[in-house]
Amino acid sequence: MSPQRPRTTRDFGQAAQWIAVLVLFAAIPLAGKKFFVTMANEVLVMGLFAVAFNLLYGFTGMLSFGQAAYYGIGGYTVGLLLSKGAMPFAVALPAAAAAGAALALLLGPLCIRLTGVYFTMLTLAFAEMVWGIVFKWYGFTGGDNGIQGIPMPALLRSPVRYYYFTLIIVFTSFWLLRRIVDSPFGAVLQSIRENPERTGFLGIKVRRYELAAMVLSGAFAALAGGLFAGYQHSIHPDMLHWTKSGEVILMSILGGVSSFFGPLMGAAVILFIEDMIGKYTEFWEIWIGGIMLAIVIFFPRGVIGTLDSWIARARNRERTADGTSRS
């Protein structure tokens, strides 16, 4: 943890990973196909949403089934501020993150009073409440019509420009989230995941940290929602629907919740599958459900996690002398 820690090969490996991912995303518009840019934009937005969710689930061990509320509140903050308040986008986007944090400060203290499956239930119930309000409040949110034609600044109107803008915001957020996870604060979150009771014995106020994790996760989820609203030029209550919360859980688990970029990878895979299935049938839910079922039954550690442990096992078999097993 000390700042003078010598740089290890692991650090360089990590830096290389970041640069590789960044370069890959930055190169996508060069392919010149509009579809790729659209897809990559969605992957970045959902990837940020999923990585923010994973701060809560993978790193703190709190399975929230209500993150769509934060994603949606971010989208609606941007949409409403731009279309009604006539605020500039540069104010609306940070305001989205602030709105997400505020909502977490409101609902979080109630949710963290309970743990385990109770916590999950509460997050879902409260998210449905927020969805219900947005869905029914025609005068303010546009109800189930949502809001279309959100005016965007001229600078960001071209899809490619908006894509690079998203790329910068998302990777800055990734960097911040990575710093949070690696900080002493992040170490406390991970110890709460391992054993909340013992963490409490260390004199740490567990609930306060859990609330902080919810606020941070909510803020970044809302930022993702705000980015989505700017890109779609429209908002819709579906952004807050519980299936969105389920989707982000699935993305994280599919990619692997124990790795930082796992959820981003999961987001890419799921969005790609949805797009493919969407071309052939309107019944995409059953496919997602089936994939999820298969993952739960056959890939208990997520697809990436399970592949990792297969590779590790294969390596161990090669190095027969080495008795240390990673699994």
Partner 1 sequence: MDSNLVFTQLIGGLTSSMTLFLVASGLTLIFGVVNVFNFAHGSFYLLGAYFAYQLVSVSGVGFWAGVLLAALGAGAAGAVMEFFFLRRIYGRGGEAGFQILLTYSFILIIDDVVKMIWGTDYKSISRPEILDGSLTIGDLFIPRYDAMVIGMGLLVALGMWWLIRKSRFGRNLRAISANREMASSLGVNVPVALSLVFGLATALGGLSGALSAPVRTVTPGAGVEVIIGSMIVVVIGGLGNFWGALVGAFIIGEVTAFGILFLPQWAILFAYAVMALVLVFRPQGLLMKRGIAG
The minimum distance between CB 51 and partner 1, in angstroms, equals 17
Please count the other Cβ atoms lying within 10 Å of the Cβ belonging to residue 13: 10
Of 25, 49, 71, 126, the residue at the interface with partner 1 (CB under 8 A) is 126
Nearer to partner 1, 125 or 156 (CB): 125
Q: Which of 15, 293, 311, 312 binds partner 1 (CB under 8 A)?
A: 293
> CB-wise, 41 or 54, nearer to partner 1?
54
Nearer to partner 1, 11 or 285 (CB): 285
Encoded one letter per residue, x for contact with partner 1 by CB under 8 A and - for no contact, window 211-250 reads -------------------------------xx--x--xx
Task: DSSP for 158-198, please give it.
Answer: SHHHHHHHHHHHHHHHHHHHHHHHHSHHHHHHHHHHH-HHH
Cβ atoms of residues 127 and 104 within 8 Å? no
Q: Determine if 84 is a binding residue for partner 1 (CB under 8 A).
A: no
Shortest spacing between CB 249 and partner 1, in angstroms: 7
Q: State which residue, 18 or 284, has the beta carbon closest to partner 1.
A: 284
235 contacts 150 by C-beta, under 8 angstroms: yes
Q: Is 273 in the site for partner 1 (CB under 8 A)?
A: no
> Could you tell me the CA-to-CA distances from 220 to 313, 314, 321 in Å, in that order?
36, 38, 46
Q: What is the largest CA-CA distance in the chain?
A: 71
| Helices 242-255, 262-280: crossing angle, 10 deg rounding | 120
Residue 120 binds partner 1 (CB under 8 A):
yes
Position 132 contacts partner 1 (CB under 8 A): yes
Q: Give 19 or 117: the residue with its C-beta nearer to partner 1.
A: 117
C-alpha to C-alpha distance for 232 and 32, rounded to whole angstroms: 20
CB of 291 to partner 1, least distance (A): 8
Q: What DSSP letter does each residue of 142-161 carry, written as one string?
A: -GGG-B------GGG-SHHH
Cα–Cα distance measured from residue 154 to residue 28, given in angstroms and rounded to the nearest whole number:
22
User: Judged by CB, which is closer to partner 1: 34, or 136?
Assistant: 136
- Listed ranges 121-129, 183-191, 207-215, 228-236: which one lies at the site for partner 1 (CB under 8 A): 121-129
Q: Does 308 bind partner 1 (CB under 8 A)?
A: no
Q: Is 59 in the site for partner 1 (CB under 8 A)?
A: no
Q: Determine if 98 is a binding residue for partner 1 (CB under 8 A).
A: no
- DSSP string covering 64-121, please? -S-THHHHHHHHHHHHHIIIII---HHHHHHHHHHHHHHHHHHHHHHHTTS-HHHHHH
Please report, as ranges, the residues that interact with partner 1 according to CB under 8 A.
Answer: 57, 63, 65, 110, 113-114, 116-118, 120-122, 124-126, 128-129, 132-133, 136, 242-243, 246, 249-250, 253, 283, 285-286, 288-290, 292-293, 295-297, 300
